[in-house]
Structure 1
Amino acid sequence: MTTDNGAASLLAKALGIVLGTAEIPLRLRAWDGSEAGPPDAPVLEFRSRRALRRILWSPGQLGLSRAYVAGDIDAPGDIFEAFTALSSVGKFSEPGPFRPLTPRELATLLSTAVRLGAVGPNPAPPPEEAKVTRKGGLHTRRRDAAAISHHYDVGNDFYALVLGASMVYSCAVWSEGPYVDNTGLPAGLDGAQKAKLDLVCRKLGLKPGMRVLDVGCGWGSLALHAAQQYGVTVVGVTLSSEQAVLARKRAADAGLTENIDIRVQDYRDITDGPFDAISSIGMSEHVGREQSPHYVDVLHGLLRPGGRLLNHAISWNAGRTKPDPDSFIPRYVFPDGEMLSLGEMVTALETGGFEVLDVEALRQHYALTLRAWVRRLETNWDEAVRLTSLGRARVWRLYMASSAVGFETGLTGVNQILVQRAGGGQPPLRRTDWI
C-alpha cells in the first residue's frame, strides 16, 4: 500500500478497524487532498471530517451508509468497482450484521478521530432515514403500511425514470445481458421484464376466464399483461396509494377497468376468494420470518383446490441470517424487511399444505436487472434529484449497486417457487407448459 502524509493514511487505519481488514482495496482520498492506498484501485472520497464522526458514533454499516447518503463520502468513479472490491474483504465478505468493535478497537478508532479533529456531537441522520423502524409491534397492519409507504411512495415519476416503460420493480428474465443504446440507457430491459411477466403467467397456467390474485401488485404491470395476453380477470392489492393510483390509470388507459381491480388493501384482509391462481412477486420479503406461516395459510385459503401459487422472492444464500435493524437496508430502503433462505420458504409452503412443482433460481438475472436500473438512474441523475432529493437518489444508487454485487457474489439469490394446492387437476409431467 502506498501512502502520502496527511489525513488519508489515518483514515485507512480507521476504516480498516471498522471493516475488520488490514488492507483496504480502495484508494482513499481525504478532505485535505491526501491519498492513500493502491494507486489503481477504485477511489473512495472522504469529503469532510463529519464522515469519520458519523462512523465513530455508529462504527459499522449504518455510519458508513449515513455518510454516503449525506454526501460526506462518495465513490466518484464506477460504483460497482468500489463495491466489488469492498465485498471481498473484512466484514463485507461475511453474511449478517457487522461484528461489533472490541473496546480496544473502539479506543483506537477514537484516538484516530481525535488526531484528525473529527470528534464532536453525533450528526443528525439524513432525512431520508426511515421513521418507522422502531414504532409499533413488528408487522402489524399499521406498521407494514408505513414501511411500504416509505419505500414505494417516493413518486411514480421517479420510479418510471429508474424502471423504464415496463414499470416492473422485480427481477427481469434475460436471454442475454443488457447493452446500452444510443441514448445511454440500457436496451433490452423492457423486453426482459415482459419475458418475466409472461413466464409467471405460463407457470400459473393462466387461461381465459380465470380469476387471479396479484399480491403486492405494484404499478399493475403483471395484471395488465395477464388480462391482455391471457384473458383473465385480476385483483391486485398493494399498500402503496401512489402505486394504486397509477395502476388504475394504466388499466383505464388500456380499456381494462372491467378486468382489473386494483385495491389499497392488506393481503390479510382479502375476503372474496377463491382465486384460480395467485402471484406474489417481490412481496413476501415484507412479511418476515415469524409471519411466514400465516402468510402461507392466508394464500392457501384464498386459492381454489388445484390452483397454483407462484412466490417470487429474494433469499439469503448464506443460510439463515438474522436481520440487523441498524444496517443500511432496513434503515433506508426496506424497513422491517426480512429475507428467508430458499429452504425456509419451501418448508413454509410445504408445511402450509402446498405441493412444490418447480423452483427456478434467477440470481444472475437480478444482477443484470439492477445494473440496468443503476445505469438509468445515473444517466437521468439530475432529473432523479429534482423528483425526490439528492439524498434519496443517493440511497437508491447505493442500494441498487450494492445489491447487484450481492447477487453477483452469491451472497443473495432470488427464486421463483411454483406450488399447487391439492384437490384439483394434475400438473404437467414436465415443464412443457412454461419452458
Structure 2
Amino acid sequence: MNSIWQVARGLKASYRDSDLRGRVAKLNGRLDQTSAPGDSAGLDHAETAREYYDICSHLMVYGWGESLHFAPLRRQESLDDSKLGHQRLMIDKLDLRPGMSVIDVGCGIGGPMRTVVREAGVKVTGINSSEVQLVRARQLTAEAGLTDMIDYVETSFMDMGAIEDDTYDRAYAIESTCHAPDKVGAFTEISRVLKPGALLWGQEMCLTDRFDPASSTHRDIERELMRGIALRKIATFAEVNQALEAAGFEVIEGKDYGTPENGSTTPWYQPMEARSGTRNNTLRGTPLGRRLAIASARGAEALSVLPRGTAEVAKLLDRTADAYVAGGKTGIFTPLYCFVARKPH
C-alpha cells in the first residue's frame, strides 16, 4: 500500500506543469454531463475516462492498492489477499501456461499483470491510454524485476492498430471494457488480436436483475455511479453477453462473484463502509478515513506538500465511494460480473 509521501511525490511529478484544480473542475463538469439523461451525445467518453484515471490514479492506489479492482471478499482474508485470490481464479479459468502470450486490456498500473507473470510464467502486453498509469506501471514492474516479461502499448483498446491480428493466446479485461463507448466494438477489437480458439476473461461493472428502471431511487444511484466511475452506460449481464456474441465470441461462463453463492461472504463494498468485514481492513477507504484524507489534503496543499486541487480529487473519489455503497446495499449494482468467452477456431 502506498504511503502518503509516495502519493505526494507521484502527484507532484504528474501535475507539476498543469493546473490540477482547473483540470478537476473541468472533469467534474464532464462527469456531470455524462450522467445527465440525454445530455452526453457529443461528449468524448474515452477522453473523459482517460482524464479520470490520469487525475485520480494516485489517490485510488493510496486507498485501494496496486490492483485497482474489486474481488469477492471473505472474512478470514485481507482485501489484498481477496484480490490475489480472485486473480488466481482468473489464471485458472484462462488455463494459463508458461510460454503463452497474454494481453491485459486496460492494465491500470499493472497489479494483476505482475501476479499473472509471477504465477503463470507468461509474457504479458499491457494496453492503456493513461500516460500517468503507464509511467507508474513501468516503475513498479522494474522494481519487481519483471521488465523482460511485460511490455506496454499506450493506446485505446477500441483501436489497437499497432497490434497484428491473431497475436495473443489469451486476454483479460478487468473493469476496463465497462468504459467502452461501444462494447461490441471493444470486444470485436479484442477478438481481432486473439488467436483462433483463445480465451477471454472479463470483469464488468453491471446493473443486476434487481435494478428497476421505474424507480427514481434506482435511477439516481445509477446516475451517481455513472458519474463517479466515468461510465457512459452501465450494462446488464444480458447486454454484456449479447455484445460478446455480436463480436463473435462464444460465452462459456458468466456469473456475479459478488454474491454469497459465488464466494463473497462479505459484501464487496464493505471496505468503503466500515473497517469490519475483512481481516486487516484499514481506515483509509471508510467514510471517516475519506473525510480525514480530504482534510489532510487541504492542509498539505496550504503547506505546498501536495498540489492545489488534491483535496478536490479526494472529494470526487469520496462521492464515488458513496455511490458504490448505495449500489451495493440496494443490490442493483455489482462490479463483479465475470465471464469466460472463447474466440471460435
In structure 2, the CA distance between the partners of 1:311 and 1:357, relative to structure 1 (3 Å rule), is same
For 1:220, the aligned partner's letter is: G
SS of the residue corresponding to residue 154 of structure 1 reads helix
Matches within 5 A, 1:52-91: none
Aligned mate of 1:150, from 51, 55, 63: 51
SS of the residue corresponding to residue 422 of structure 1 reads coil
The aligned residue for residue 20 of structure 1 is none
Taking only aligned residues, the RMSD between alpha carbons, in angstroms, comes to 3.1
The aligned residue for residue 19 of structure 2 is none
* 1:361 equivalent in alignment to 2:256: yes
The aligned residue for residue 111 of structure 2 is 221
The aligned residue for residue 400 of structure 1 is 321
Superimposed CA distance per residue, residues 333-367 of structure 1 (whole angstroms, 9 cap, x where no aligned partner): 33343210001111121232222222221235532
The aligned residue for residue 172 of structure 1 is 71
For 1:252, the aligned partner's letter is: A
Please say if residues 320 and 340 of structure 1, whose CA atoms lie closer than 8 Å, have aligned partners that are also in contact. no
* 1:127 equivalent in alignment to 2:35: no
* 1:422 equivalent in alignment to 2:320: no
Structure 1 gaps, min length 5 = 1-125, 179-187, 424-435
Task: Report the Cα distance in structure 1 between the residues aligned to 2:202 and 2:42, rounded to whole angstroms.
Answer: 19
Deviation at 1:389, TM superposition (A): 3.2
* 1:305 equivalent in alignment to 2:193: no
Task: Report the Cα distance in structure 2 between the residues aligned to 1:308 and 1:266, rounded to whole angstroms.
Answer: 21
The aligned residue for residue 251 of structure 1 is 141
Deviation at 1:286, TM superposition (A): 0.7
For 1:172, the aligned partner's letter is: A
Deviation at 1:212, TM superposition (A): 0.5
Asked which structure has the greater CA Rg, the reply is 1
Superimposed CA distance per residue, residues 52-77 of structure 1 (whole angstroms, 9 cap, x where no aligned partner): xxxxxxxxxxxxxxxxxxxxxxxxxx
Aligned mate of 2:64, from 163, 166, 187: 163
Please say if residues 211 and 332 of structure 2, whose CA atoms lie closer than 8 Å, have aligned partners that are also in contact. no
Please say if residues 148 and 239 of structure 1, whose CA atoms lie closer than 8 Å, have aligned partners that are also in contact. no
* 1:338 equivalent in alignment to 2:233: yes
SS of the residue corresponding to residue 258 of structure 1 reads helix
Q: Could you tell me the TM-score, scaled by structure 1's length?
A: 0.58
Which region of structure 1 is more displaced relative to structure 2, 216-225 or 149-158?
149-158
Superimposed CA distance per residue, residues 189-224 of structure 1 (whole angstroms, 9 cap, x where no aligned partner): 111111111111111111101000111101101111
Task: Report the Cα distance in structure 2 between the residues aligned to 1:406 and 1:330, rounded to whole angstroms.
Answer: 11
SS of the residue corresponding to residue 236 of structure 1 reads strand
Aligned mate of 1:272, from 150, 157, 164: 164
| Segments of 4+ moved more than 6 angstroms | none
Please say if residues 46 and 179 of structure 2, whose CA atoms lie closer than 8 Å, have aligned partners that are also in contact. no
Please say if residues 213 and 277 of structure 1, whose CA atoms lie closer than 8 Å, have aligned partners that are also in contact. yes
Please say if residues 214 and 279 of structure 1, whose CA atoms lie closer than 8 Å, have aligned partners that are also in contact. yes
Deviation at 1:313, TM superposition (A): 0.5
* 1:282 equivalent in alignment to 2:172: no
Give aligned pairs, total. 282
Superimposed CA distance per residue, residues 2-35 of structure 1 (whole angstroms, 9 cap, x where no aligned partner): xxxxxxxxxxxxxxxxxxxxxxxxxxxxxxxxxx
SS of the residue corresponding to residue 198 of structure 2 reads strand
Aligned mate of 2:97, from 198, 203, 207: 207
Deviation at 1:390, TM superposition (A): 3.0
SS of the residue corresponding to residue 136 of structure 2 reads helix
Higher RCO by CA contacts (8 Å cutoff, separation 6 or greater): 2
Please say if residues 355 and 422 of structure 1, whose CA atoms lie closer than 8 Å, have aligned partners that are also in contact. yes
Deviation at 1:370, TM superposition (A): 3.9
Task: Report the Cα distance in structure 2 between the residues aligned to 1:156 and 1:351, rounded to whole angstroms.
Answer: 32
For 1:399, the aligned partner's letter is: T
In structure 2, the CA distance between the partners of 1:173 and 1:335, relative to structure 1 (3 Å rule), is closer
Percent sequence identity is 22
Task: Report the Cα distance in structure 2 between the residues aligned to 1:369 and 1:301, rounded to whole angstroms.
Answer: 38
For 1:396, the aligned partner's letter is: L
Deviation at 1:391, TM superposition (A): 3.1
Please say if residues 201 and 338 of structure 2, whose CA atoms lie closer than 8 Å, have aligned partners that are also in contact. yes
